[in-house]
A and B are shown apart, each in its own frame.
Chain A
Amino acid sequence: MRSDGTRPAPMFLKLAAFGGLLFLHVPLLLIFLYAFTTEEKSYQFPPPGLTLKWFSVVWGRQDIWDAMWLSVKVASIATLIALVLGTCAAAAVSRARFFGRDYLSLLFILPIALPGIITGISLRSAFSMMDIPFSTWTIVLGHATFCIVVVYNNALARFRRTSGSMIEASMDLGADGFQTFRHVVLPQIGSALLAGGMLAFALSFDEVIVTTFTAGQQSTLPIWMLNELIRPRQRPVTNVVAIFVVAVTFIPILAAYYLTREGEHTGGAGK
């Protein structure tokens, strides 16, 4: 049946939707709330008092700064690798015709469908078989496997919407390969790459499972949080960090959503 937007939805549907929203977001709000509690050993409700002191505690803790810096570094490098390789792969798959092209495309997307634990274990055994010591770079490699996928998917969708004759037109008008990429290809896929890159960054920034297998002794921010939960003291510190992680991952995803939506609009209007 066609929704004409005039009839109100049935009451039970409204209740179900509202209940679903509560279920998703109340725990999130509780996390925010307990960042301000004065009680540091247990999460009792309601909080006995509110304070901003945990923010200054976080500010002064070197282990948090180290974890955050590692997470930012890993996410940035993994995203950069994903941008370069993902774009190249998408360009090849969308433009060229070659044997096994569709299977190759599937292989690119597979890492995101694969459970993280499988990716983690396989990478860990690969690293140890090749005698590669665990380091920042092993974490980066692990994250790059799924970061490439989001960039690849975004770029591929955009390449497929871009008219192939535009590249030929550019060459025809005297632009060499580099000029064509700079003036025609990049503006066409730019917003898709930005969106893909932001998603990749967000994915990497809060990744736990693959990181557990590839990090060795280092802690990224999510790993640090996981370890912190076991400790009895200064619990609200974790909540403060959680607020920060939500901000860092949520903002890029929101931005990516709006960017790709706008891209679809201009892509359609160009036809």
Chain B
Amino acid sequence: MTTAVSFQNVSRHFGSVRAVDEVSLDIAEGEFFAMLGPSGSGKTTCLRLIAGFEQPTSGHIEIFGATAEGVPPYRRNVNTVFQDYALFPHMTVLDNVGYGLMVKGVAKAQRDAKAEDALALVALPGFGQRRPSQLSGGQRQRVALARALVNEPKVLLLDEPLGALDLKLREQMQVELKALQRNLGITFVFVTHDQGEALSMADRVAIFNQGLIVQVGTPEDIYERPQTRFVADFVGSSNVLPPAFTKAAGGPERWASLRPEKIMLLRGSMSSPHKEMNARVTVKAVHYQGASTRLNTVTADGTAINVTAPSSLGKFAEGEELTLHWPASALHIMESEG
């Protein structure tokens, strides 16, 4: 498989700030790759390094085998969908979409035809004569997508493209983007701070923290087998359990992660089940979420454990005593600390 984008020990420093620090990464051709992390973790800077808006302080970047350092954005076969869409307000939608072809000198009739095709691809046929200001947020997003895709990029970069949309539209666009990527076979590099988005859309996810990639893997890898406490906590807000607790519960003396939805609970003073790991806890806070209820509980030695309980179990009260239990397989022992 061809490597679309390759980072080799790439750093980007702004003064004393290490925005990207010694990152090595290979993104395969045709892959839907998500960069996930909190704001300021370096994921957007990585995207801008691929687009050419930033140059690495050190290290080496290759795009389809060609050195990328020193190549300006307008000579890279890479296009970006910007977070704020960055549509040109003084042009019609058709001229916006055809812009990349226009600056390359494609004749008007041909670029208009291609722009119409691109608009049809993002389900906006016949919107060409409107102005960006006459479109809704979701429609602008599609125009931005069409404007990038019309250039037939080898890599499409998406910088939090769904961040400005409401929940319903976001879920719909997630499905559409995924389908589009499958049909076109273009490499997508997608930056987001929304773990749900990354897990549901991406083939592989890289987790960023403080300029470093802390883990790369499939969504299942990242979710089921987080390698560090940061990943466990950031992706799906797992319970991060200290070594002493893990040992007391019957595991090795190591940091471990335990997903809230994998914990079962017994109410009151019922005896704990055999062969399962268990812990006695007190409910600290109750967050009703409709289908489920999220409980913040704490053990006698002060370890906080969050539990997701089906709402069918009834109402919970603060201060209630519970017994938590889970299969040993649910406890994931982490490889490294940090």
- A-side interface residues toward B, CB under 8 Å? 163, 165-166, 168-176, 179, 183-184, 187-188, 266-267, 269-270
Q: Please tell me if B11 contacts chain A, counting CB pairs below 8 Å.
A: no
- Chain A nearest CB: distance from B108 CB in Å? 14
Stretch in contact with the other chain, from B83-91, B300-308, B328-336: B83-91
A266 to B131, CA, bound (A): 11
Beta-carbon contact of B89 and A183 below 8 Å: no
The residue in chain B whose Cβ has the minimal distance to the Cβ of A166 is B86
Contacts of A170 in B (CB 8 A): 88, 99, 103
- Chain B nearest CB: distance from A174 CB in Å? 5
Contacts of A269 in B (CB 8 A): 89, 131, 133
- Chain B nearest CB: distance from A97 CB in Å? 11
Beta-carbon contact of B90 and A171 below 8 Å: no
Contacts of B147 in A (CB 8 A): 169, 173
A179 to B79, CA, bound (A): 17
Beta-carbon contact of A168 and B90 below 8 Å: no
Q: Please tell me if B51 contacts chain A, counting CB pairs below 8 Å.
A: yes
Beta-carbon contact of A175 and B72 below 8 Å: no
Knowing A163-B86, A166-B88, A188-B90, the reply to whether A172 touches B73 (Cβ < 8 A) is: yes
- 6 A-B residue pairs with Cβ-Cβ distance under 8 Å, sorted by A, are A168-B82, A169-B147, A172-B53, A183-B88, A183-B99, A266-B89
- B-side interface residues toward A, CB under 8 Å? 51-53, 72-75, 78-80, 82-84, 86-90, 99-100, 102-104, 131-133, 147-148, 151
Knowing A173-B100, A270-B133, the reply to whether A168 touches B89 (Cβ < 8 A) is: no
Q: Of B79, B103, B132, which one neighbours A175 at CB under 8 angstroms?
A: B103
Beta-carbon contact of B51 and A270 below 8 Å: no
Beta-carbon contact of A174 and B100 below 8 Å: yes
The residue in chain B whose Cβ has the minimal distance to the Cβ of A191 is B90
Contacts of A176 in B (CB 8 A): 72, 74, 103
Q: Of A171, A184, A270, which one neighbours B74 at CB under 8 angstroms?
A: A171
A179 to B51, CA, bound (A): 18
- Chain B nearest CB: distance from A268 CB in Å? 9
Beta-carbon contact of A175 and B74 below 8 Å: yes
Secondary structure call for the A interface? helix
The 6 nearest A-B residue pairs measured at CB: A270-B89, A173-B100, A169-B86, A165-B86, A269-B133, A175-B103
A269 to B90, CA, bound (A): 11
Residue of B78, B89, B102, B148 with highest tally of chain A CB at under 10 A:
B89
Beta-carbon contact of B84 and A171 below 8 Å: no
Knowing A175-B74, A184-B88, A270-B132, the reply to whether A169 touches B103 (Cβ < 8 A) is: no
Contacts of B87 in A (CB 8 A): 166, 169, 270
Beta-carbon contact of A169 and B80 below 8 Å: yes
A175 to B82, CA, bound (A): 16
Q: Of A165, A183, A188, A270, which one neighbours B82 at CB under 8 angstroms?
A: A165
Contacts of A163 in B (CB 8 A): 84, 86
A166 to B89, CA, bound (A): 10
Residue of A168, A174, A266 with highest tally of chain B CB at under 10 A:
A174
- Chain A nearest CB: distance from B114 CB in Å? 13
The residue in chain A whose Cβ has the minimal distance to the Cβ of B72 is A171
- Chain A nearest CB: distance from B72 CB in Å? 7
A83 to B99, CA, bound (A): 27
- Chain B nearest CB: distance from A122 CB in Å? 39
Beta-carbon contact of A174 and B86 below 8 Å: no
A179 to B74, CA, bound (A): 11
Contacts of A267 in B (CB 8 A): 89
Beta-carbon contact of A173 and B133 below 8 Å: no
Knowing A266-B90, A269-B89, the reply to whether A168 touches B99 (Cβ < 8 A) is: no
Beta-carbon contact of A174 and B133 below 8 Å: no
Beta-carbon contact of B84 and A165 below 8 Å: yes
The residue in chain A whose Cβ has the minimal distance to the Cβ of B98 is A173
The residue in chain B whose Cβ has the minimal distance to the Cβ of A186 is B90
Knowing A179-B103, A183-B103, the reply to whether A172 touches B90 (Cβ < 8 A) is: no
- Chain A nearest CB: distance from B100 CB in Å? 4
Beta-carbon contact of A168 and B53 below 8 Å: yes
Beta-carbon contact of A187 and B74 below 8 Å: no
Beta-carbon contact of A173 and B90 below 8 Å: no
Contacts of B131 in A (CB 8 A): 269
Beta-carbon contact of B103 and A173 below 8 Å: yes
Beta-carbon contact of A168 and B73 below 8 Å: yes
A187 to B89, CA, bound (A): 10
Beta-carbon contact of A173 and B72 below 8 Å: no
Contacts of B104 in A (CB 8 A): 174
Beta-carbon contact of A174 and B151 below 8 Å: yes
Q: Of B53, B132, B151, which one neighbours A173 at CB under 8 angstroms?
A: B151
- Chain B nearest CB: distance from A181 CB in Å? 12
The residue in chain A whose Cβ has the minimal distance to the Cβ of B103 is A175
A165 to B78, CA, bound (A): 16
Contacts of B51 in A (CB 8 A): 168, 172
A192 to B126, CA, bound (A): 32
Beta-carbon contact of A168 and B86 below 8 Å: yes
Beyond A165-B86, A172-B53, A269-B133, 13 extra complex contacts between A and B, CB < 8 Å: A163-B86, A166-B88, A169-B87, A171-B72, A172-B74, A172-B79, A172-B148, A173-B103, A173-B151, A174-B100, A174-B104, A187-B88, A267-B89
